[in-house]
């Protein structure tokens, strides 16, 4: 099984509820087709480097998952057909990227626990 990372940008005109529904749709699609989701991250509303469809911001989402690669083309076709998706990128991770992502998740978890302890 290969490990993949998909980042997609949702249009900023969506409400918070609509954005969460779109994310659940793609998470469900991955699970339904046999992908094991390793990590999911909401990066929130961010400014785009350049305007896309006259929009200067977007909701960024990241999925990291394991799969044999058979669903990538279908997933990307779903993204292309969905008007809520501005851009997407799927990358196959090598062993170094997988190790880096694991270390990054550990660091993020440590920072979150420090913030909770301070509060």
| Cβ neighbour number for residue 110 with a 10 Å cutoff | 10
**What pLDDT does 32 receive?**
94
How high is the pLDDT of residue 96?
95
Give the burial class of 107: count Cβ atoms within 10 A of its Cβ; 0-12 exposed, 13-18 middle, 19 or more buried: exposed
Each residue's pLDDT tens digit, 5-16: 999 999 999 999
More confident residue, 49 or 119: 49
pLDDT value at residue 117: 75
Residue spans of the domains in the chain: they are 2-93
* Mean pLDDT within 41-58: 94
Model confidence at 119: pLDDT above 80: no
Residues 22, 84: Cα–Cα separation, whole Å:
8
- Residue partners of 56: CB distance under 8 A and separation at least 6: 47, 48
Is the domain defined by 2-93 classed in CATH 3.40.50.20?
Answer: no
The pTM of the full predicted model, rounded to 2 decimals, is 0.88
């Amino acid at each position: 099984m290969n490990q993949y990372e998909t980042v997609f940008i949702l249009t900023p005109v969506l409400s918070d509820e609509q954005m969460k529904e779109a994310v659940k749709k793609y998470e469900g699609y991955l699970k339904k087709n046999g992908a094991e989701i390793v990590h999911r991250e909401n990066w929130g509303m961010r400014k785009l480097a350049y305007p896309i469809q006259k929009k200067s911001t977007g909701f960024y989402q990241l999925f990291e998952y394991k799969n044999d690669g058979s669903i990538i083309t279908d997933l990307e076709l779903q993204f292309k057909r969905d008007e809520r998706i501005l851009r997407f990128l799927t990358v196959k991770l090598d062993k170094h990227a997988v190790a880096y992502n694991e270390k990054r998740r550990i660091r993020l978890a440590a920072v979150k626990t420090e913030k909770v302890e301070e509060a």
